[in-house]
Amino acid sequence: MTTTIETTEREQAAFAAVELARHPARPRALQVIAAAFDDWTELRGDRLFADDRAVVGGPARLGGRAVMVIGQEKGTDPMTRAVHNFGMPHPEGYRKATRLMQQAEKFGMPVVCLVDTPAAYAGVGAEERGQAWAIADSLLRMLNLRTPTISLVLSEGGSGGALALAVADRVLALENAVYTVAPPETCAAILYRDAGQRARAAAALRPGVDTAHEIGLVDELVPEPPPGAHAHPAIVAAAIRGVLIRHLTELEAIPLDDLLGMRADRYRRAGG
Amino acid sequence: MDRTAGLMPARRQPPLRRLQAPGPQLRPVSHAATIACAACGRRYVADRYAAELNVCGGCGHHARVGAVQRIEQLADPGSATSLRLEVAMRDPLQFDDGVPYTDRLERARERTGLDEAFEIATAAVSGVPVVLACMDFDFLGGSLGSAAGEMFAEACECAVDESRALISVCTSGGARMQEGIASLAQMARCSAGVKAVSDARLPYISVLGDPCFGGVTASFAVQADVILAEPGARIGFAGGRVIEQATHDKLPDGFQTAEFLLAHGMLDAVVDRRDLRPTISRLLDLYTRAA
């Protein structure tokens, strides 16, 4: 049986914004790392169970300084999308990320997280190995990390799966990205018991990063030349490089104890 | 059946009277004033059922418990004082999906008598000063919105300011969709609260009830020093039905039950509700009176 779901213009516009954020040609984490950083050397595995390819990470150089870059990678074609599980991490992905964060702290490297996931993966293995525990641990570790941290939402920041890599001193987002409590499909399934009503959910949720910016969860939106980042990958990569260096320079001037105090304060008040 | 697997000693046997049918000395009560066990159908007089902590003496089924009743069950008699928090209704998205979100909130407030999905109280448990932060599933599915997140953060601050141990009891469907991204931010806010408690080296004991999912499980509910769960409680990140539909994986037996998670190393113990207070008392004693 097929049902036709009528949508209003407002709902169509809201869902079009979600589709733009999901545009297959938008810059992915590995592309941004290649274009905006130097000497990136990938480190793999969580040392516990597996190497989750939905999360990539390793040290690189940015404007002279060594930084730890961690990104959620969605893949760019059918084969790489499957390899990277469409950017949906298992617990191992978060445990690899926190391993690399601890290492960054040890060597005094700032951490840069590139967030791009519809959600943490929902599956039997992910639950058995403690998806919620891995995310909760990452949230707490990011609050405690004694090194400057920046997170940039590239395209899609969905659910706790995104927040787990976004409890940072500075949170930035490309202006056409979305940042939501859950993908519109999941929201529709929860609220209306019908994932098909995703446009209605998208309109009600206001998924654009401007909403996250309004409530102070995102500090700065990085402009994209029209029609969007998918059409101008080189310009956007250069803009990302510039904005990351500017924020890192600011953060590096703040004594670590002050930085951690400010971070705790900020998230203590997060979301109104 | 061993209901207390894990680090706890075997549960004491329930007193015999629990197993006896109501005797002839009891006056018959009207059907309306009784509660039937959802699992085995055994009927209880409402007061008696509450005195049994909403646990069926026949089959051991644990029924849901409201936040206020939870506090009564865990606190030393007469020791609990509700933390009177001024909680304004928040509607960051002006969410309206046919019924305005503020109307839903108003109705939940009337129905439960609570301001939000949390009830917070200072209390003593076997003499140890604690803050109890209990969730109420009847308040919009125990969902975590910004007011509820603020209440938990206040509970953490109270623990730090007054050197109290923190005890949370979670029953929640997860983030509150109607508050969108502001709701997601509460996972970070509650984590910041736990960090403050942890930095002050105060013990945090988390009790997971049925059900506990999403952004609540994936934040403060599992950031505790000790994680306990009630028998049969369903706990996880994504719901089993969602996983089955999305992946077509066959769900293993007992998937996402407390017992399943204990076996996978995610919990410290599964504790029968009738043993919860003594278990927490013993832990608090060990963690707060180290010498």
| Beta-carbon separation of B215 and A143 below 8 A | no
User: B117-144: per-residue pLDDT in tens?
Assistant: 999 999 999 999 999 999 999 999 999 9
Q: By three-state DSSP, how is residue B123 classified?
A: strand
How many domains does chain A divide into? Answer: 1
* Burial readout A22-41 (b: 16 or more C-beta within 10 A, e: otherwise): eeeebbbbbbbbeebbeebe
Q: What is the pLDDT of residue B242?
A: 83
Closest to B219 in 3D by CA, of A271, A223, A138: A138
Give the gap in angstroms from C-alpha B13 to the nearest C-alpha of chain A: 32
Q: Which residue has the tokens 């609990």?
A: B80
Which of B146, B189, B223 is opposite residue A136, by nearest beta carbon?
B223
Cα–Cα distance between B114 and B175 in angstroms, integer? Answer: 18
Q: Which residues contact A8 (CB under 8 A, 6 or more apart)?
A: A203
Q: What is the pLDDT of residue A1?
A: 41
| Beta-carbon separation of A180 and B181 below 8 A | yes
| Beta-carbon separation of A160 and B195 below 8 A | no
Domain that residue A153 falls in: 9-266
pLDDT over threshold 60, residue B15: no
- Do the Cβ atoms of B273 and B57 come closer than 8 Å? no
Fold of B64-288: 2-enoyl-CoA Hydratase; Chain A, domain 1 (3.90.226)
pLDDT over threshold 70, residue B3: no
**Which residue would you say has higher pLDDT here, B265 or A197?**
B265
Q: What is the pLDDT of residue A83?
A: 97
* Burial readout B238-257 (b: 16 or more C-beta within 10 A, e: otherwise): bbbebbeebbeeeeeeebbb
Q: What is the pLDDT of residue B7?
A: 52
Identify whether A272 is part of a domain: no
Residue-range domain boundaries for chain B? 64-288
- Do the Cβ atoms of A131 and A120 come closer than 8 Å? yes
| Beta-carbon separation of A181 and B195 below 8 A | no
* Selected residue of A115, A181, A205 to mutate for chain B interface (largest B Cβ count, 10 A): A181
Low-confidence spans in chain A with pLDDT less than 70: 1-5
Identify whether A120 is part of a domain: yes
- Do the Cβ atoms of B181 and B145 come closer than 8 Å? no
Query: Which residues of B are less than 8 Å from A181 in CB distance?
Result: 175, 177, 179-181, 183-184, 215
Closest to A197 in 3D by CA, of A205, A209, A185: A185
**What are the C-alpha distances in Å from B35 to residues A13, B50, B74, B197?**
50, 10, 22, 39
| DSSP conformation class of B178 | G
> What mean pLDDT comes out for the span B75-92?
90
The CATH number covering residue A41 comes to 3.90.226.10
Identify whether A71 is part of a domain: yes
Residue B161 corresponds to which tokens in the numbers above?
A: 């300011």
Instruction: Find residues 85-144 of chain A whose CB sits inside 8 Å of chain B.
Output: 120, 122-124, 126-133, 135-137, 139-140, 143-144
- Do the Cβ atoms of B171 and B64 come closer than 8 Å? yes
